[in-house]
């Protein structure tokens, strides 16, 4: 058998059968990884060994005062926690450890500690409730947790119902029995577990909006591959960059953008626990941040508030999680001078695979397959669609989908025919003659009305061009005559009234902007739209509302 450092082989034993694995491509020179690899060592120890120990890695506010920590301080802390995990909690390589905290320095240190000790991190979104946590703990057979004290309540509720969850240590507390008390006596040196490049280091649960959570297994190599693809070809950070943004570290968009990417380049990151569009702008201003990661809805709101802030430091902005409407791109550019970098990524793929540099932006497109990845739009038979024809997005590259013990593997990775080993993201896309990819909708969100296929995001993009519309969500709702009709849920800007004349006006506006048959036959005015913690519109909730 190939080398593995895992004594506990649960994750390995519950990977999909080999014939359902994604095909991987490692053609780029920067993706030639050694057989043995610990990604925490590559991102942290190596930076300190290379002389970067005194550089700042994490910045935050502690009781409204600026606080920062160096690469060396983060390494010391992570090493101490790794000792607690292996000596006090007696965890063995391959065991799973739940991580639970808002974006803060201890959460980052815990992530590195778990991985240094050869354990498998299971990061969870702060807002998850005990029922969801319980599903994750059971699915991944998690035996220990490191949790921010402020998230104790749901943690304890979940733990009470889980046989496997034996040990929980709380941090950001300092009290007796806390992680801080345990680590204080530990050495700041730790021998990293010599893991294989393809040992699991993390199980990322999908932020999916419906169904039981799916755990996607990522190897040490995958974490480095995410750092060596999108950032190198589209973002091109330097060690002087200061990253900031909103996605939780438990979401791979945030793990990459706010922790691993800055560290791969010796840069620093601002970790903030709760950010609104306004406080994100304030954070950029205070910390003189140069790179921002957030979701489209944030950029849209930030565009309206930017004039109250000095954004002179900001150079690059990355949007992902859902489609970036062109009107949002233009509003943000007018307000800040910055051309947003859009990118589609997925938990299954770990990070972004289609994106663009600011210079190579094309209006309405997500971008092109970034170096390292290939992408195609295919029809039901698996044949490539001609440019302009809508089909299913298929991708392959150095990373791919491996669900932990889940029959849904067959829906994500093609296991037969000429497209064997390609990943199907569940998105409907079309291409143009130059290889740019244009997002249409989630394949299961396409609206079929009186025989026409209508993509909700296209109708949303049209509505967003109307001056009264702050935000909107468009879904199909059942209709006796047409099968489905197009329904728009609209948040108006302040100063506008949601009445019958406004409904007519918006309908006429859409009819003039895109094909007539796509206009929303039903328009409902709402105060806000339901979104996930990752900034995604919860379309199923709009449909349920009728
Ligand atoms: C949708 C987009 C249009 C798309 C993610 C960057 O979102 C991430 O992961 P999830 O598993 O969701 C994946 C799905 O979200 N999506 C994401 N980005 C875009 N649709 N344009 C975009 N730019 O449906 C995709 O299949 O939550 C994003 C990095 C890491 C991630 N995990």
Residue 467 sits in a domain whose CATH number is 3.30.300.30
Q: What pLDDT score does 5 carry? A: 98
Q: In terms of Cα–Cα distance, which of 486, 527, 529, 492 is closest to 510?
A: 486
Would you say residue 258 lies in a domain? no
Would you say residue 180 lies in a domain? no
Q: In terms of Cα–Cα distance, which of 197, 228, 222 is closest to 372?
A: 228
Q: What pLDDT score does 173 carry? A: 84
| C-beta 534 within 6 A of ligand 1 | yes
3-state class (DSSP) for residue 434: coil
| C-beta 344 within 6 A of ligand 1 | yes
Give the nearest ligand 1 atom to 442 CA: 24
Q: What is the pTM of this model?
A: 0.96
Residue that is written with structure tokens 């170096």 in the block: 371
Can you list the alpha helix ranges (DSSP code H) found in 390-517? 409-412, 456-464, 500-513
Whole-number Å distance, alpha carbon 180 to ligand 1 midpoint, is: 35
| C-beta 425 within 6 A of ligand 1 | yes
Would you say residue 526 lies in a domain? yes
| C-beta 322 within 6 A of ligand 1 | yes
CA distance linking residue 405 with residue 14, whole number of Å: 5
341 φψ region: left (φ > 0), alpha (ψ -120 to 50), beta (else)? beta
Would you say residue 511 lies in a domain? yes
Question: Do the Cβ atoms of 436 and 367 come closer than 8 Å?
Answer: yes
Structural domain containing residue 453: 448-544
Whole-number Å distance, alpha carbon 345 to ligand 1 midpoint, is: 4
> In 3-state terms, the chain is what percent helix, strand and coil (to 5)?
35, 25, 40
Q: Whose CA is nearest to atom 20 of ligand 1?
A: 322
Would you say residue 521 lies in a domain? yes
Q: What pLDDT score does 545 carry? A: 73
Q: What is the chain's alpha carbon radius of gyration, rounded to the nearest angstrom?
A: 23
| C-beta 320 within 6 A of ligand 1 | yes
Give the nearest ligand 1 atom to 425 CA: 26
Contacts of 448 (CB under 8 A, 6+ apart): 454, 476, 483, 484
Q: In terms of Cα–Cα distance, which of 159, 9, 178 is closest to 96?
A: 9
| C-beta 328 within 6 A of ligand 1 | no
Q: Whose CA is nearest to atom 13 of ligand 1?
A: 346
For the stretch 343-375, pLDDT in tens is 999 999 999 999 999 999 999 999 999 999 999
| C-beta 53 within 6 A of ligand 1 | no
Would you say residue 182 lies in a domain? no
Would you say residue 298 lies in a domain? no
Q: What pLDDT score does 168 carry? A: 97
| C-beta 347 within 6 A of ligand 1 | yes
Positions of the chain with pLDDT lower than 50, given as ranges: none
Residue that is written with structure tokens 């730790």 in the block: 190
| C-beta 351 within 6 A of ligand 1 | yes
Q: What pLDDT score does 211 carry? A: 72
The length of the chain in residues reads 546
Would you say residue 517 lies in a domain? yes
Q: What pLDDT score does 544 carry? A: 84
Say how many domains are in the chain: 1
Whole-number Å distance, alpha carbon 344 to ligand 1 midpoint, is: 5
């Amino acid at each position: 058998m190939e080398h593995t450092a895992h004594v506990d082989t649960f994750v390995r034993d519950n990977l999909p059968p080999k014939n359902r694995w994604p095909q991987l491509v490692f053609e780029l020179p920067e993706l030639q990884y050694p057989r043995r690899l610990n990604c925490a060592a590559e991102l942290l120890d190596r930076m300190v060994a290379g002389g970067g120990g005194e550089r700042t890695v994490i910045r935050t506010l502690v009781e409204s005062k600026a606080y920062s920590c160096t690469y060396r301080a983060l390494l010391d802390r992570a090493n101490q926690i790794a000792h607690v995990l292996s000596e006090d909690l007696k965890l063995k390589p391959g065991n799973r450890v739940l991580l639970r905290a808002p974006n803060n320095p201890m959460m980052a240190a815990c992530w590195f500690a778990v991985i240094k000790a050869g354990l498998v991190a299971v990061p969870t979104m702060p807002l998850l409730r005990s029922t969801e946590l319980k599903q994750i703990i059971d699915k991944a057979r998690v035996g220990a947790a490191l949790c921010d004290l402020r998230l104790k309540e749901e943690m304890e509720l979940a733990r009470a119902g889980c046989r496997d969850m034996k040990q929980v240590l709380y941090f950001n507390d300092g009290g007796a029995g806390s992680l801080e008390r345990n680590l204080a006596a530990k050495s700041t040196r730790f021998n990293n577990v010599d893991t294989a490049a393809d040992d699991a280091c993390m199980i990322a649960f999908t932020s999916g909006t419906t169904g039981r959570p799916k755990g996607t297994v990522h190897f040490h190599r995958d974490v480095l591959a995410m750092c060596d693809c999108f950032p190198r070809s589209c973002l091109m950070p330097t060690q002087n960059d200061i990253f900031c943004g909103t996605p939780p570290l438990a979401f791979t968009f945030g793990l990459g953008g706010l922790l691993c990417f800055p560290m791969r380049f010796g840069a620093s990151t601002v970790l903030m626990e709760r950010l609104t569009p306004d406080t994100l702008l304030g954070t950029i201003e205070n910390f003189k941040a140069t790179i921002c990661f957030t979701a489209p809805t944030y950029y849209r709101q930030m565009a309206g508030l930017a004039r109250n802030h000095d954004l002179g430091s900001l150079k690059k902005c990355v949007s992902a999680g859902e489609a970036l409407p062109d009107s949002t791109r233009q509003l943000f550019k007018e307000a800040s001078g910055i051309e947003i970098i859009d990118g589609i990524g997925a938990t299954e793929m770990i990070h972004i695979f289609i994106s663009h540099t600011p210079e190579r932006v094309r209006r309405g497109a997500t971008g092109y397959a970034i170096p390292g990845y290939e992408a195609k739009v295919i029809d039901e038979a698996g044949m490539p669609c001609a440019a302009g024809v809508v089909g299913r997005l298929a991708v392959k590259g150095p990373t791919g989908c491996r669900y932990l013990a889940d029959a849904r593997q067959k829906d994500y990775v093609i296991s037969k025919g000429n497209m064997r080993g390609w990943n199907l993201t569940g998105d409907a896309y079309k291409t143009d003659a130059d290889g740019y990819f244009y997002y249409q909708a989630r394949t299961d969100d396409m609206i079929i009305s009186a025989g026409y296929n209508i993509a909700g995001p296209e109708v949303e993009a049209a509505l967003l061009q109307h001056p009264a519309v702050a935000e909107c969500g468009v879904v199909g709702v059942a209709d006796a005559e047409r099968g489905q009709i197009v329904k728009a849920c609209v948040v108006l800007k302040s100063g506008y009234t949601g009445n019958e004349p406004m409904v007519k006006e918006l309908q006429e506006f859409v009819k003039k902007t895109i094909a007539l048959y796509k206009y929303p036959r039903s328009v409902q005015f709402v105060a806000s739209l339901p979104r996930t913690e990752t900034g995604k519109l919860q379309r199923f909730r709009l449909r349920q509302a009728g």
